[in-house]
Amino acid sequence: MRRFISVVLLLCAFPAWADMHDELYKAAGWPEQRGHFTEALRAAQQRYQNSLPPAVFQALVNNSNQRFAPQAMDQRAEASLRQALARPQPALAFFQSPLGRKIVAAELLATRADQLARNAQGLPKMQASDTRQLLIGHLARALPAREAGAEVSLAIAGVAADSLSSMIPGLLGGGSPQGLLEGQRERLEQQIGADLDNTLLYVYRELSDPELEEFVAFAESADGQAYYQAALAAVRAGLAVGTR
């Protein structure tokens, strides 16, 4: 009887445990960030409309809509997060905390379409104390912001290159679109890294120094690093990096 009760309790607890990844995915703002990416993609498509022949533009739209279908992106990213992050509990607890919610809100605000348009010519130069600069330096090294930012840029550029290559063979000089884009990854990461401290100072400007210190402590911890490395893998999965 005792063994039966134990099995029943285990079966009751398992779905809650298994759903922690889904809770984490939502608590960390992934669905909203994917929505912001979709908005940015639509804006990028429109920028190409006046500079490409109609057939090429339509191919670009079709390719990008297929590759970046919202539901498929969420499914790929969440599946990758499940596979890469064995213990979601610490990250979930952090992002469900008042500080975690404040961090997610700051990140979502920074990637909203109106904010991206507002800062299209560059972010304002942020002033900060030596202590805050030191904390931001630690955060810049702990977060995979360079890599994730480069992947987003390459994903959008890759759709355009694929579309142009398929419609106009030989346009890229015989090289594969992905091969050419791979050469840009390091350059993009360097560009992002050059202004990363100022970007993070701007994004997290509403965090107090103690809050920023607590954020750094989580990001640098073993659990934080496990989450952020899994998050980078999830970004790449959601963007279908390497599938074109």
State pLDDT tens for residues 26-57: 999 999 999 999 998 888 888 888 888 888 88
Q: What percent of the chain has pLDDT over 70?
A: 81
pTM of structure: 0.85
Q: How confident is the model over 180-206, as pLDDT tens digits?
A: 566 788 888 999 999 999 999 999 999
Residue-level pLDDT at 173 = 47
- Scanning 19-144, the segments in alpha helix (DSSP H) are 20-27, 30-49, 54-67, 70-84, 89-96, 98-110, 113-118, 130-142
pLDDT higher than threshold 60 for residue 165: no
Position 17 confidence tier, pLDDT thresholds 50, 70, 90: very low
SS3 229: helix
pLDDT higher than threshold 90 for residue 218: yes
How many CB atoms neighbour CB 76 within 10 A? 18
Show the CA angle centred on residue 109, arms to residues 107 and 115, nearest 5°: 125
Residue-level pLDDT at 48 = 82
Q: How confident is the model over 83-128, as pLDDT tens digits?
A: 999 999 999 999 999 999 999 999 999 999 999 999 989 999 999 9
